[in-house]
Amino acid sequence: MSPRARLIVRRLLLAIPVSVLMSVFVFLMIRLVPGDPVRTMLGFRATPQNVRVVRKALGLDRSLLAQYLSWAGGLLHGNLGEDFISHTPVSTLLSTRLPVTLELTSLSMTLAVLIGVPLGVLAAARPGPVRTATEGFVVAGIAIPDFWLGIMLVLVFAGLNQILPPSGYVPLLQDPVQNLRYMILPVLTLATGEAAYIVRTTRGAMEETLGTPYVQFLRAKGLSERRIVFVHALRNAAPPILTVVGIQFGVLLGGAIVIESLFALPGVGRLIVTAIQQRNYVVVQGGVLLIAILFILVNLVTDLLVGVVDPRIEEGQPS
């Protein structure tokens, strides 16, 4: 088996125990949230007798181990449980919300890469005003919280100028133009911080690559600086850039929770926030587990892409 094939098998096998441990962590974490979901559901009807009856009907009177084993057994069959409030299967709720979250994160990461990689390359290849400008962008992008930036964008583009809608959502297939108008502000909010991280990583990787004897040899051969930078150097600097992009894409999935609530996007993040307010254990743990599994899958794909791009993997050297 080649080193690259061994890397793929190792990453796939490692994803299984990580997913199991994540399910245990999510289940226990949700149980630490203050409040009783049964009393929240019953409201003024939360008499001791009614609470006992409902807790038994929902299986909340059993031990934590019994509840986890029951939930985990359902996961193996694709059953995430049933919403306490609406009695709708959690899998149905998540399947209707997931496309919104994936659209938001995919557009945000695409914009972040389109901004971050070129700026990082230029900052490394052309020290001076370009590097100074990118350093300011990196500091601002990392330091400014997403929610504050989102509020400022709404104030400027929806409040003062009324160019874009402040909140809401229209499905992409229903009206692509309106969908884009509603997605511009949340995408800009999420992409700004991610682009700053990508700029910093790309600049550092390119500076290291451009300082190697390999690049000096290419210059001595007479290759144009443009070809050296954007073809040879960028390819060799790709592994750390891909790694950061993968990690930050996973971070975006978590950051989308705040942004979806801020811009009233009907995604998984907003569903989780609503479920937390209702103490709806089943929906919260299903939503958080979905985000966690997506994070694991994104990092798995990232590792595999790095293994394809990095020639040292095929040579059996550590990446």
> pLDDT tens digits, residue range 126-182?
877 878 888 888 999 889 888 899 999 999 998 888 888 988 899 888 989 999 999
Residue 250 pLDDT > 70: yes
Chain segment 7-60, per-residue pLDDT in tens: 777 877 887 888 888 888 878 877 776 666 677 666 666 777 777 887 777 777
CATH code, domain with 274: 1.10.3720.10
Q: For 262-306, how does the pLDDT look when each residue is reduced to its tens digit (9 = 90+)? A: 898 999 988 888 887 777 778 888 888 888 888 888 888 888 788
Q: Is pLDDT of 183 > 90?
A: yes
Domain assignment present for residue 123? The answer is yes
Where is pLDDT greater, at 110 or 128? 110
Structural domain total, the chain: 1
Q: What distances in angstroms separate CA 68 from CA 58, 64, 74, 80, 192, one per listed residue?
A: 13, 6, 10, 12, 39
Residue 284 lies in a domain: yes
> Residue 256 and residue 158: Cα distance in Å, rounded?
20
Q: Considering only residues 45 and 186, tell me which one the structure prediction assigns the higher pLDDT.
A: 186
- pLDDT score of 1: 63
Give the mean model confidence (pLDDT) for residues 117-126. Answer: 88
pLDDT band for position 106 (50/70/90)? very high
Identify whether 287 is part of a domain.
yes
Q: Quick check: is 169 in a domain?
A: yes
| Residue 41 located in a structural domain | no
Q: How much is the pTM?
A: 0.82
Higher pLDDT residue, 112 or 317? 112
Looking at the domain assignment, is residue 180 inside a domain? yes
pLDDT tens digits for range 39-52: 766 666 677 777 78
Continuous H helices in the chain = 3-31, 37-42, 48-58, 64-76, 90-125, 129-143, 146-153, 176-210, 213-220, 225-227, 234-236, 238-262, 268-277, 281-309, 311-314
The reported pLDDT for the residue numbered 101 is 92
Q: Is residue 55 part of a domain?
A: no
Average pLDDT, the chain: 83
What is the C-alpha radius of gyration for the chain, rounded to an integer number of angstroms? 24
State the helix-helix crossing angle for 176-210 and 146-153, rounded to 10 degrees. 130
Q: Would 227 be classed as within a structural domain?
A: yes
Structural domain boundaries, residue 140: 3-34+80-314
